[in-house]
């Protein structure tokens, strides 16, 4: 059966007026700020009112096996599951991240879900939406401009130019600006120095916005951001440079969660989009809070595999927000497990390797070690796990049964076939029943992986050994010095946000499946006081992606009627 493109499917549905979606949630007309007929922002006053009036819904995080270039359909499953829950009579919402323009025009394409499990309007979702990412970039770069302006005007704070850790940001993948020289010197052109560039979604401002609780907390967090150091090693903050207030002013609209809808008309909150490999990889706390105050159950998405986005969801987002999860869903596909089992190759510009369409039970079983480890990672927090088997037409009953065997042996409550890509919410009804049952049982013994008071190095070692399966960590001298400095400055109680490849449980993207017998190299450690964590950099991780040889942006255009085409 031929399935239309995601964009064709999205355009085949007439969206409900967003005011109707809002009213179904109990939102008053003056508590939303419409952006046209199909999307709106929700005021912070509405969140406070509804939290005081309603019980909190069940809280479910959707995570996955270690991702492959084939795609596991985690966003699609998050949307499909919410649609499925509504189909079985549960009032459900989806909370999902806004994509970066880097992947949209690069290698990944859109991130609104897929097939008949999408958030709409799909083109708005994948492009500018309500301008939040642009506002984040402007706030971030304003702080960068204040730093260089201070240097230019006599350096009154005594900033050591070599200590500046605040990069500039751009929400386009552009490897050529990863490291640049800025300032041509002289009276008019700024102090020459080296600087880094990051993609905007990796900005600490993005992480701050995703973790903040209200506008005053946002202002305080932005003020605490460490931008550089003086010659004596003491930090220079955004408050020191008197820029945090202006940064907050740029974000007064961006702090409000965005309300959209699924293809089936259910509520979808889209807010913030940090990368899971180089940031905490979760949508905003505020979006989750409004969803939990207006629904029986909420499906929120965490970036990449359970060793990354889910670990950070539990250890960072839940620690900061005070919210506690009730269940987790681990998404897997047969073809991705085959790849983890050593079968098939992905070649850019080529079609799907035929090996993925041939029954290979042993390859699925071998790749299932990765699924087992990711289930173990969820269970390490005492959160019940349900496996969603996102099936394709080429999957065989024998292969599916192996996935079920592996999942149940690893401790999952259930492993359920889901066909939401082709069948929408109806294809996720069985999954929805299993998830609802797991969420009803809940996680009464939920706990973090490490306590606040543990030394920073101990926290890093705990994540590396328990989540990745490493034998230990090897800390480079620069990283060791950074850890000592941060603890001396009083930041030793912060949680840890690991930055590593998403393509492996280890730091090495070539190691698929469930690697063993490896140690994790920690080459440096970044400080994000405003967001409230430290970020160890593992292996050769980068914070500014590059475009592939054939960028996805080549496919994006407008047709003769002026409609956008080529988004996937």
pLDDT for 71 equals 83
Q: Are 101 and 553 in contact (CB under 8 A)?
A: no
Provide the edge-to-edge strand list for the sheet that holds 519-528. 472-475, 519-528, 533-538
Q: Are 15 and 259 in contact (CB under 8 A)?
A: no
Query: CATH assignment of 6-130+254-441, given 3.40.50.300, 3.30.1740.10, 3.40.50.450, 3.40.50.720?
Result: 3.40.50.300
Least confident among 71-75, 331-335, 406-410: 71-75
pLDDT for 483 equals 97
CATH code for the domain defined by 456-538: 3.10.410.10
Given a cut of 80, is residue 411 above it in pLDDT?
A: yes
Q: Are 501 and 67 in contact (CB under 8 A)?
A: no
| Buried/exposed code over 485-514 (b: 16+ C-beta within 10 A; e: otherwise) | ebbeeebbebbbbbbbbbbbbbbbeebbbb
Say what the pTM is: 0.95
pLDDT for 186 equals 86
Could you give the 3-state DSSP secondary structure of residue 111?
A: coil
> Where does the pLDDT of residue 542 fall: very low under 50, low under 70, confident under 90, or very high at 90 and above?
confident
pLDDT, mean over the chain? 94
- CATH class entry, domain 132-250: alpha beta
Calpha distance 432→83 (Å, rounded): 9
Q: Which residue has tokens 């034998």?
A: 471
End-to-end distance of the chain based on CA atoms, in angstroms?
19
- Where are the chain's structural domains? 6-130+254-441, 132-250, 456-538
What are the CA-CA distances from residue 247 to residues 196, 198, 226, 243, 258 (Å)? 20, 18, 14, 6, 20
Q: Average pLDDT, stretch 510-529?
A: 95
Give the alpha-carbon dihedral of 151, 155, 159, 163, to 10 degrees.
Answer: 20
Given a cut of 80, is residue 107 above it in pLDDT?
A: no
Beta strands in 279-345 (DSSP E): 297-301, 327-332
pLDDT for 91 equals 98
> Where does the pLDDT of residue 33 fall: very low under 50, low under 70, confident under 90, or very high at 90 and above?
very high
Q: Cα 273 from chain centroid?
A: 6
pLDDT for 345 equals 82
> Where does the pLDDT of residue 568 fall: very low under 50, low under 70, confident under 90, or very high at 90 and above?
low
Looking only at the bridges linking them, the beta strands covering 117-120 and 113-114 are antiparallel
Q: Are 340 and 512 in contact (CB under 8 A)?
A: yes
Least confident among 40-54, 183-197, 435-449, 460-474: 183-197
Could you give the 3-state DSSP secondary structure of residue 456?
A: helix
Q: Average pLDDT, stretch 396-407?
A: 98
pLDDT in tens, 172-219: 998 999 999 999 888 889 999 999 999 999 999 999 999 999 999 999
Give the alpha-carbon dihedral of 75, 333, 496, 212, to 10 degrees.
Answer: 10
Give the alpha-carbon dihedral of 333, 336, 338, 342, to 10 degrees.
Answer: -160
Q: Which residue has tokens 């509804």?
A: 50
pLDDT in tens, 152-171: 999 999 999 999 999 999 99
pLDDT in tens, 226-241: 999 999 999 999 999 9
């Amino acid at each position: 059966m031929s399935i239309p493109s995601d964009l064709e499917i999205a355009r085949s549905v007439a969206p409900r007026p967003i005011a109707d979606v809002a009213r179904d949630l109990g939102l008053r007309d003056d508590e939303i700020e419409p952006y046209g007929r199909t999307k709106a922002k929700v005021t912070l006053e509405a969140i406070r009112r509804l939290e005081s009036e309603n019980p909190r819904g069940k809280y479910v995080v959707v995570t996955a096996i270690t991702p492959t270039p084939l795609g596991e359909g985690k966003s699609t499953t998050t949307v499909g599951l919410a649609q499925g829950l509504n189909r079985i009579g549960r009032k459900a919402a989806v909370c999902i991240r806004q994509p970066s323009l880097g992947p949209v025009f690069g290698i990944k394409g859109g991130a609104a879900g897929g097939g008949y499990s999408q958030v709409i309007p799909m083109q708005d979702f994948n492009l500018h939406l309500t301008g939040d990412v642009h506002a984040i970039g402007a706030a971030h770069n304003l702080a960068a401009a204040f730093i260089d302006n201070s240097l230019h005007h006599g350096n009154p704070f005594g900033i050591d130019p070599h200590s500046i850790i605040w990069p500039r940001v751009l929400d386009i993948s552009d490897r050529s600006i990863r490291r640049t020289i800025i300032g041509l010197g002289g009276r008019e052109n700024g102090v020459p120095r080296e600087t880094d560039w990051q993609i905007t979604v990796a900005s600490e401002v993005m992480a701050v916005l995703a973790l903040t609780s209200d506008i005053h907390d946002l202002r305080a967090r932005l003020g605490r951001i460490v931008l550089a150091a003086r010659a004596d090693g003491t930090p220079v903050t955004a408050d020191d440079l008197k820029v945090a207030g202006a940064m907050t002013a740029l974000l007064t609209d961006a702090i409000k969660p965005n309300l959209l809808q699924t293809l089936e008309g259910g509520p979808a909150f889209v807010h913030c989009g940090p990368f899971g490999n180089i940031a905490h990889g979760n949508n905003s706390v505020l979006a989750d809070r409004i969803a939990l105050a207006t629904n029986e159950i909420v499906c929120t998405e965490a970036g990449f595999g359970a060793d990354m986005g889910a670990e950070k969801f539990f250890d960072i987002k839940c620690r900061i927000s005070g919210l506690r999860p009730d269940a987790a869903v681990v998404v897997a596909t047969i073809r991705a497990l085959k790849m983890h089992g050593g079968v098939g190759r992905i070649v850019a510009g080529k079609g799907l390797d035929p090996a993925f369409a041939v029954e290979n039970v042993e390859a699925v079983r071998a790749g299932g070690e990765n699924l087992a480890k990711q289930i173990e990672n969820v269970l390490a927090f005492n959160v019940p796990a349900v496996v969603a088997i996102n099936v394709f037409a080429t999957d065989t009953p024998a292969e599916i049964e192996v996935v079920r065997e592996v999942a149940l042996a690893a401790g999952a409550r259930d492993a359920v076939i889901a066909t939401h890509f082709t069948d929408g919410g109806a294809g996720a009804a069985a999954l929805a029943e299993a998830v609802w049952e797991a969420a009803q049982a809940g996680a009464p013994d939920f706990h973090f992986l490490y306590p606040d008071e543990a030394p920073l190095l101990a926290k890093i070692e705990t994540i590396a050994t328990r989540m990745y399966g490493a034998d230990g960590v090897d800390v480079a001298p620069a990283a060791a010095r950074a850890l000592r400095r941060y603890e001396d400055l009083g930041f030793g109680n912060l949680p840890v946000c690991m930055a590593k490849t998403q393509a492996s449980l280890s730091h090495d993207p070539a190691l698929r499946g469930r690697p063993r017998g490896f140690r994790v190299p920690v080459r440096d450690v970044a400080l994000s006081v405003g967001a409230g964590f430290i970020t160890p950099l593992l292996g050769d991780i980068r914070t500014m992606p590059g475009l592939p040889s054939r960028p996805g942006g080549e496919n994006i255009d407008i047709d003769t009627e002026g409609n956008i085409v080529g988004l996937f």
